[in-house]
Structure 1
Amino acid sequence: MTNPKILVTGASGYVGGTVLSQFLSSSIAEIKNASYSVLVRKQEQADQYASQGITAHLAGLEDQAAVRQLASQFDIIVHAADSTNVAAAEALIYGLRDGAQKSAKITKPCLIHLSGVSSLGDRPVSKPSTIISHEFSDKRDDIYSYMKWRESLKPYTQRTTDLAVIDAGEKADVQTYVIKAPRIYGRGTGMFNRKSVHIPVLISGAIAAGRPEYIADGAGVWDDVHILDLANFYELLLGKILKNESIPTGTKPFFFVQSIRHSWKELAEGLAKAGVKSGALKAEETCSIGLSEATEKYGSGDTGLTEVAFASSSVTKADLALEMGWTSQKTEADFQQSLLDDFKAATSC
């Protein structure tokens, strides 16, 4: 692929900004030689990117006609803006298809979609008999069929969007890859938002309550990955796409990227230690709360979302990433240090 045009959505966000930064500093020749543009909502963001020599386009994902037209101008889209917007994802995919039909430059356009693993989580509090905890492998397990089955029981917007991305890609003859990231930690390197979502929310709750909280027994386990390790996988994947190298996939192109894991109670205990060390908390105490209380504090009134996002087990194996040569550079010590850094950031605002 000669001088491909790449669009990054969500470039003002935590993941999208860090991934773009990784691309721009890459030593891989094919990535360095690509042309990058971003999709943003605010003029000041566009101006700042323009000052760095990056073309910025202003549009909201809700304007599907504009999104589709914009997508038709690119060969590859790295979509990190919203993992729950089906219409926007489909507009990007069909826009890529429109552009490919007009150009002989590339054999197949490509969309890399950022998602998460809450769509795979169990329901440890409500305990529906059909949902069990399982360690998922992106190589061994049929993630697509499992999510189709889960979706037939009860729709979940993140899962709905993942499935729509795969289905639309096959229909439009656009190659799609869905990266399902776990809990992401660490400081980002983008131009705007550099903090994650999960852990800062729990830190704000801990400061308000005087101690970190977890739901029920806190036994649910999630994987964790440092934002820079995640960005490294994006770089690896993009490099293989641009070099036309073989990319291993399971039954469908889902990829997990994970390194360490913690139960919600273990996370709360780590937050308690970091909170005391930072001076934000007085004692290394944690507290169990019920799902209803957690929904009010952390889930914006959505009990189902709160349960899967803050109490479930959602554990994965990044078998395909490892097969491609990806390795995590960050350790448990880095994770614990990030908790302290996040407390300091929260209390310095």
Structure 2
Amino acid sequence: MANILVTGAAGYIGGSVLTEFASQTTGPIKGSTLHAAVRTDEQVKAVSGPGVNAIQLDFSNQKAVTEAVLNNKIDIVVHTASSMVHSLSEMLLNALSERRKVSGEAVYFIQTGVLTAFADMGGWPYGQVKDSDQDIFEKEKGIGDQHPVRQTNIFIVERSKALGVTSYILPAPSVYGRGTGQWRKLSVSIPQYIRTSMRLRTVYKFPDDGAPPAAHISDLATLYTLLVTSILNHAAPPANEDGYYFPIAHRIPWHATMDLIASAMHARGLVDSPAARVWPSYERAADELGLPRLYVRAMGTSTGDIVAEKPFALGWRPEWDEEAKFLGAIEQEVRDVLEVDTVKPTVFAAIMD
């Protein structure tokens, strides 16, 4: 029996992963004890439930993090709380190292990253990248920039190896769909576009089209489940420098998507035109959407020649595709914002959470 800690369990991805783990009726996760790290008393009450031990945890306090990991005998950390602040990962890696010393058993750390770091507009200069490539880590180091996600990835690989922790990095693509967690139900990007469109009474699209990799939240949660199951079954999935897993189910055609959003919102009287207009500038788009100007093009139009192979080797079979399901569910995306949008962070704030 393992003890698994999910951080960011009140968030969109973390909450959905926790729900997926808790719903397992067979396999090694069913026999494990689930722990959920959250920030507030209110979130503790919301996330606690049958089979889930919620912990209010201050990730800036190494003593508190280490005590939480040791007292609950944590073997696996699924870290979804931040992809950009490596100090949070450092606290958890240090704590897992102490757990390994006490238990004498292997410990594991799964980091949620950001896939746009591997696209050209995200600063990736090497062209096509496959998650099965054996030089991804060295290429990330070789770029030598200060991209916060890339710096976090590099730190995790190096620090985990030094501490004897087995690590994995799942760089999240554009994720959509209604989450299944108990707190935050909505993703970052599409709901923010819808909120901004309602405020401006106009749907805007970027001057350049994009087709970023994407996955429905249910498919993404399934991939986390497959990876943790593989770990618990001692199948030794590739880790550390070779531990990159790209969760790509399909791509999102942004211009077509924004046009469908405009049509769906106009039908509800939420915007003045059934057609999307082009932003007058990327700076204006960043300011209205709450995106950092430095990363607005990468976050809004990035495509990249990014290829997923290792998730499928684990047995991942996404149920959501572009044509038959995603584009046909745009009305549902609008409806979700109207029905369950109780937490309304900016895009950048949500990424930092």
Could you say whether these structures have the same fold, taking a TM-score greater than 0.5 normalized by the shorter chain as the test? yes
Residues 230-274 of structure 1 show CA distances to partners (whole Å, capped at 9, x for unaligned) of 011111111110010132469520100111112432332232233
- CA change 1:14–1:256 in 2 (3 A) is same
Deviations 1:10-33 (A, max 9, x none): 111111111111111113331100
User: Could you tell me the TM-score, scaled by structure 2's length?
Assistant: 0.88
Aligned twin of 1:17 = 15
- Summarize the Cα distance change of 1:54–1:12 in structure 2 as closer, same or farther, 3 Å threshold: same
| Contact 1:278/1:344 (8 A) holds in 2 | no
SS in 1 for 2:252: strand
1:122 corresponds to which residue? 120
- Corresponding residue for residue 70 of structure 1: 68
User: For the residues of structure 2 that align with 1:184 and 1:240, how far apart are their CA atoms?
Assistant: 23
Q: Determine whether 1:146 maps to 2:144.
A: no
Q: Please say if residues 141 and 250 of structure 1, whose CA atoms lie closer than 8 Å, have aligned partners that are also in contact.
A: no
Q: Is the 8 A contact 2:117 2:124 kept in 1?
A: no
- Letter of the 2:208 counterpart: D
In the TM superposition, 1:1-349 aligns within 5 A as: 3-72=1-70, 73-104=73-104, 106=105, 108-123=106-121, 132=125, 134-140=127-133, 142-150=135-143, 152=144, 154-218=145-209, 220-248=210-238, 251-289=241-279, 290-300=281-291, 302-332=292-322, 333-348=324-339
The alpha-carbon distance between structure 1 residues 221 and 142, as it changes in their structure 2 partners (threshold 3 A), is farther
Secondary structure of the structure 1 residue equivalent to 2:181: coil
Give the deviation of 1:221 after TM superposition: 2.3
2:245 aligns to what SS in structure 1? strand
Structure 1 pair 207–170 and aligned structure 2 pair: CA distance change class (3 A): same
Residue identity opposite 1:215 in structure 2: F
- 1:262-319: CA deviations, max 9, x gaps? 243233223223323444234331122211111211244x321212211222342220
Give me the whole-angstrom Cα distance separating, in 2, the residues matched to 1:131 and 1:223.
Answer: 15
Match of 2:120, SS?
Answer: coil
CA distance in 2, matches of 1:157, 1:232: 27
- Indicate the SS of the match to 2:24: coil
8 Å contact from structure 1 (residues 10, 40) kept in 2: yes
CA contact (8 A) 1:269 1:286 kept: yes
Unaligned runs of 5+ in 2: 342-353
After alignment, is 311-320 or 85-94 more displaced?
A: 311-320
Q: Once the two structures are superposed, what CA deviation does each residue of 1:91-129 show, in whole Å capped at 9, x if it has no partner? A: 10111110110113x2x10011111112223239xxxxx
Cα deviation, residue 89, structure 1: 0.2
Separation in 2, partners of 1:214, 1:142: 35
The whole-number CA distance in structure 1 between the counterparts of 2:255 and 2:47 is 41
SS at match of 1:32: coil
Q: Distance in 1 between matches of 2:63 and 2:107?
A: 19
Confirm or deny: 8 A CA contact 1:7 1:76 kept in the other structure: yes
